[in-house]
Each structure stands twice: as C-alpha cells, then as structure tokens.
Chains A and B, each alone.
Chain A
Amino acid sequence: MAITYPTIGDRRRRRTRYQNGWALLFLAPWLVGFLAFTAGPMLMSLYLAFTKYDLLTAPKWIGGGNFGRMFGNDPLFLQSLKVTAIYVVVGTPLSLAFALAVAVVLNRGLRGLDFYRSAIYLPSLFGGSVAIAVLWRKVFNGDGLVNQMLALVGIHGPSWISEPHTALGTLIALEVWQFGAPMVIFLAGLRQIPREFYEAAQVDGASRTRQFWSITMPLLSPILFFNLTLQLIRSFQAFAPAFIISDGSGGPADSTLFYSLYLYQEGFVNFDMGYAAAMAWMLVLLAGAVVAVNFIFSRFWVHYGD
C-alpha cells in the first residue's frame, strides 16, 4: 500500500491560496482606493473630456469638441501652454545647474556641510506654500525688498509682479530658489562615487575640470536624469504661487496663466468640467510625451554602471 505524501506542488499551491486571502485583506484599502479614487475617476474624466458638463445638467456628448477648442479657438489655452513651457524650459535647467554646482562644492569635504545643506534645503521645504507665495509677492512688489536693494545701488526697479514681461520671471526665481531639494539628491549621488577614481585621475595629472567631465558627470548622470524627470513633472503642476501672485487671475495680461491655473479657472470657476477634464488628459499626454522624450534621449547621455 502506498502512503500519499503531499507533493511540493500541492503544498505550494495551498500556501499560495492561503496567501491570496491574506493579500486581499492587506491590499483591500489600496484596492478600494485605487478603484474609487484613481482608476474610476480616470475613466470618468476620459469620458467627460468628450462632453460638456456643468455639474448641474447631465453631461452632453460633444465628441472632440473640447480638444478642437483648445487648439482651434482658445487663445488662453495656448497662452497657458506657452507660460508653462517657458517656466519648465527656463526654470528646470537653472535650478538643476545651481543644485549641481553647489553640490559639487559641498562634496569637497568642507566643514559645516550639514549646516550649508540644511540652510539651502530649507526653502524647498516651504517652497510651494501660500505663505511663501505671499512673501514673494512682497519681495518683488514695486516697493518690495528687491527694489529696496536695487535702490541702494541707484537702480529704480519696476513693480516686478505687475509687469507682464517680468511677472513670470519672479515665479521662475521662486522655483530656482528651491534648488535645495535636487541639490540634496545630487549630494547623495556624489557620495556614491568612489574616491579612488579621483585619486587615480590626480595621479594621471587630470585637471579638476577634466575630472568633473570625465568622472563626476558620467557617474552622476543617472541622478541627473532622475532629478530632471522629477523636476519636469513638478513644474507642469505648479499652482499656488501663480495663484497668489496674480490673485487667481493669471495676470498681468495672462503672463502667469499656468496650465493648472487655467484648468482651475475653467473647471472650478466657470464649472466647465468637460473642458477641465480634457485639459487634464492633455496634460497627461504632454507631460508624458516630454518625460518619454527625455527618457529616449537619456540613452545617449545617461550611463548606468556595470
């Protein structure tokens, strides 16, 4: 007679089944949240993007009307796209350049590293808050801090936040002011570079500049890529500072009409929910495209070690 032992396969199957139940329990909150607050709403907004909907009457299907409006006859949409593009294209490289430069200096084993790092990081912690936006408004006001400083050297500055050609600049400055966060990430990356590389390079007589371009940059490029992606995603969503500086209008002359600010106006001031949903999806497509392009190009300049 044969005794039947449970085979390994049986046991594994039983254990897998056993854990399926547990996993479902553990994942229940996430699953509900994902369906109710992410997946469901996304599908819903995809549908709404093709409708006209004002919250009160039922959504009316208008096909691609919302998208046609964006690129056909909505100068404000194109303006918001332009403002956001300038903000991203100017602000992101500037803050990353500052972040990298300061990180490289800090990494050279100076005393007081912790202090400098904390002090420079602090603005990033407060960064997007309304309190800081209020401060910024005051700093760049006609008789604000910047102009008081300029007056000391005899320059009469304009009212930066109420001039259409300087208002966006103040917001870019606010973004660059927060270069501490990418700097901290760069610093962590720099610490991973083995010291021996530099010592060897020094023995070979490589100059500091040469060491930077031949050792630091290639080895740091994955971190740079990471920072770039994070910064891009963040910049596309900037909202509070533009709102506070312009009293929610995107002014002067729509020069600070950020994409998300315009989305807010359309969706939650004019209650054109369909158009806002379409704009949200367009943002996903645009931001996704930029990140994807960045990703494709990364093959040419990002070096992943072996």
Chain B
Amino acid sequence: MATERLTAIRDGVESHATHRRWVPGRRLLAHTALVVVTLVMLYPLVWMVASSFKPTDEIFSQPGLIPRHLQPSNYAEGWRGVSTAFSIFIENSLFISVLAIVGNVFSCSLAAYAFARLNFIGRRIAYATMLVTLMLPTHVTLVPQYILFNKLGWVNTFYPLFVPHFFAVDAFFVLLMVQFIRSLPRELDEAARLDGCSPWKTYRYIVFPLLRPALVTTVIFTFIWTYNDFFKQLIYLNDVQLFTVPLGLRQFLDSTGDSSWGPMLAMSTLALVPPLVLFVTFQRQIVDGVATSGLKG
C-alpha cells in the first residue's frame, strides 16, 4: 500500500500535472507569490548564516545580509564553548543518534515482519495495541520512565536515550514497515518456505533486504528526531561532559545571555548542518516519508 502511494506520488510529480492551461499573466503571478513565500520562509535561515559571520554589534545594527566586517572567529569562539568544547556535544549527539538508529532498524523490522507475515494467536490484539501506543503523548510515560531509569541508576547516562529504541518503542516505524512488507509479493515468502527457509531466514535474506526503502526512511527520521529532541535529553543529562547539541546550545545561551550573539548563531548554524546534509542527500525519501505517513521533521 505504501509503495503504491509512493509511486503514485512520484508519477504525479514527474509528469508535471498540467491540468490547466496557464494564462501567461497568471503563471507569472503564481511564481511571484511562490518566490515571495519561499523568500519569507528561508530569510530567517539565511540571515542566521549571514549573522554568524558578523561581529555581535553589527548583528544588532543593520539588517543586511553581507557582513561589513567578516568575523569567522565567531565559529572559533563558539566551538571553544563556555566550559566544554562544542565538539563534545556533537560527538554525544551523534553517538546517541547512531545507537537509536541501529535499535530502531532491528527491533522495528523484526516486529513488523511478525505483524505482516506470521500467523499467531492474539495478532489482532497485539497489532491494535501497537497502533494505540502510536497516539499516546510521550508525557504519560515520561514520569514513570524517569523513575524507572532513576532506580536503575541510569539518570545522567546515555542509556535512557537509546536503550528503549532497541525495544521497538517507536511504533510509527513498525507501522511504516508493516505496510511496506504487506506490499511485497507473498510468493517470495512462499517460495522461500518451500525451499526450506525458516521464518528467520526468510526475514533475514528476503524481507530485510527488500525493506531497504522503508529502512532508509526509518534511519533518516530516527536521526532527525533523536538529534532534535530536547525534552528527554534535558531531564536525563546533567553532566556537561554528556551534553548533546541542544543542551550545549542552551548552556551557551544561559551563560552568555544576549551578549554574544555572533558565536551563539554560529553554533546554531553548525547544529543545523547534519540535518541539512541529510535533507540535501535524501530529499526525495524525506518528502515521500512526510507525504505518505505524516512523519514530520
């Protein structure tokens, strides 16, 4: 089902659906409107990048984009940080994200295979339960999870931030993969079974490799969600050495207040680079992922 929709969307995009004849004036008007919208949308981002190269007092005094005095030292100063180098924050963020990705890819695909292909007692109930967890606000589990991790001695470690991902807690991806597996021809499984493949081998050698598009979506969105997350990192990490990018930015903001905006915006700009690189590389998958499942950045 998912792939059908995906291809439908792709076809639509590529055929440049011209179901109306454009009056030249109207077309110009539409383009003008779109360019204005795009500019307004992107201006704050462009302004941030431009300002990150300006001395702080120039950021305040003139709205233009081109810096009068180029000040790349903002980056050096921000990178040095208040007490800890910014590189530590990036390392920590990447570390947590990579583990969350690995956990999601394996645990969610295992569960999805069972839901999509295996017959077992209680399948409907289990599947419905999983769908319900999809709609729960994270807040209900936040407090008791904190208590649990506190009892385990995991507060102020990375464990609470990635261990749950090894247990398929992101039902969204399970659902995504279930839909994808259902769209694969069942004959493949049947053939494998007749050749004596156990469900494990079928999963390992047939389904998992074919699942790749769904896995790419999972990797991308797990990364973006984990990398952008703030609430959980805020409550679980206290030690500056464990801080992630969002916590590092916040600490910088707290200790410098509104005084050193140059370095502050320089580090904010840097913080957006990993998701931006991902977006540029996987634009199509990201847009398709949003279009088909409502995943957001």
Contacts and interface: CB of A to CB of B under 8 A. Distances in A.
Contact of A195 (B19, B203, B294): B19
A118 to B, nearest CB: 6
A260 B47 CA distance: 30
Interface string A234-245: 101101100110
A270 to B, nearest CB: 13
Interface stretch (B66-74, B79-87, B130-138, B211-219): B130-138
A119 interface: yes
Interface string A220-256: 0000001100100110110110011001000000000
A29 B130 CA distance: 13
B110 A27 contact: yes
B294 A226 contact: yes
A148 B137 contact: no
A233 B135 contact: yes
A30 interface: yes
B140 A280 contact: yes
Nearest to A230: B294
A121 B271 contact: no
A116 B136 contact: no
Interface string A265-306: 001100001001101110110010001000000000000000
B195 to A, nearest CB: 17
Contact of B110 (A30, A130, A243, A268): A30
Nearest to A42: B140
Chain B interface residue number, banded: 35 or more
Interface in B246-286: 246, 249-250, 253-254, 258, 261, 264-265, 267-269, 271-272, 275, 279, 283, 286
A41 B141 contact: yes
A120 B33 CA distance: 13
Per DSSP, are chain B's interface residues mostly helix, strand or loop, or mixed? helix
A125 interface: yes
Interface string B167-192: 11100001000000000000000000
Contacts of A263: 139
Contacts of B150: 55
Given A22-B118, A110-B31, A276 B143 contact: yes
A174 to B, nearest CB: 10
B27 to A, nearest CB: 7
Contact of B228 (A116, A121, A128, A188): A128
A127 B230 contact: no
A45 B41 contact: no
B169 A37 contact: yes
A109 interface: yes
A149 B31 CA distance: 24
A188 B63 CA distance: 37
26 contacts: A16-B121, A19-B118, A23-B118, A33-B167, A34-B133, A34-B168, A37-B145, A38-B141, A41-B140, A45-B144, A55-B150, A102-B37, A106-B34, A110-B30, A119-B41, A123-B41, A126-B45, A127-B228, A131-B246, A136-B44, A178-B297, A226-B294, A230-B294, A233-B135, A234-B296, A287-B137
Interface of B: 5, 8-9, 12-13, 16-20, 22, 27, 30-31, 33-34, 37-38, 41-42, 44-45, 47-48, 51, 59-63, 106-108, 110-111, 113-115, 118-121, 123, 126, 129-130, 133, 135-148, 150, 164, 166-169, 174, 198-200, 203, 224, 227-228, 230-231, 234-235, 245-246, 249-250, 253-254, 258, 261, 264-265, 267-269, 271-272, 275, 279, 283, 286-287, 290-292, 294, 296-297
Given A120-B41, A284-B136, 4 more contacts: A27-B110, A135-B268, A243-B230, A291-B135
